[in-house]
Amino acid sequence: MALPRLRDRLGEGGFVVSAWLGLIDPVVHEAFLRADFDAVTFDVQHGLHDTASLRAGIERAVLLGKPALVRLPIEDRALAARLLDFGASAVMMPMIETADEARAFVAVAKYPPFGQRSYGPTRAGELHGYADRADYVTDARNETLAFAMIETGASVDNLDAILAVDGLDGVFVGPSDLSIALSGDGTLDPRGAQAEAAIKRIAAATSAAGKIATIYAATPEDAKRYREYGYRLVCVSSDQAVIAAGARALAEAVRG
């Protein structure tokens, strides 16, 4: 075993579909891990996770052969480093608006020379099967990924500077927050013309910088459209939304 070669799968022409997990139930996690997703993403920012559920969820993902990604709480750089030590393959930091904020994120997420991640991957090394932890450090420089979330007007304005930060692997777009920020009046419209134009621009700029564009998609149709724009990883819907939709469909089918 070794760290999943997520970067290779996200290379030119690659496309990764991730489940989005905000609930903490292990049975729910297993259902999505056993489905035909390439990866799973644990949402800490708006989900119900705590450190214990993240530790168990990352372990479950690794042992079932799927990369685990994590969307962090805003500015929680300490948790970013800790979850990588738990065995996560990628971390996403919300509300990155400047190159300095991106550099601070990279500092905790990447080993030198890219950052200053502190050494201590005991659990990650064990989970991923590294007999020699030095080999984990070598692989992690390239194979554990750091994504800055682009979801405000300032982050769009500073996009080129953020993308130029050494050690940052790419960006992750939050269409809902982005649409609210760009609307001028707080309107939520992630499929509106203004948000769509920004989403296209972000994909193009990220590709031109030689980095990886990733995004959240509320529906399969959104995911397919974002792939056409050049996004290489799409997190689709959520565990809560899928369960709620399934429950409604089942009840309606019986009563219909």
Cis peptide before 113 (omega within 30 of 0): yes
Q: What is the dihedral of CA 78, 81, 83, 86, to 10 degrees?
A: -130
DSSP letter for 112, please: T
Enumerate long-range contacts of 50-58, CB under 8 Å, 24 or more apart: 50/24, 51/79, 51/82, 53/24, 54/83, 54/86, 55/86, 55/123, 56/26, 57/21, 57/24, 57/26, 57/29, 58/83, 58/86, 58/87, 58/88, 58/127
Determine how many CB atoms are found less than 10 A away from the CB of residue 183: 15
State the catalytic residue, choosing from 29, 46, 49, 128: 46
Please indicate whether residue 49 is annotated as part of the active site. no
| Residues taking part in catalysis | 46
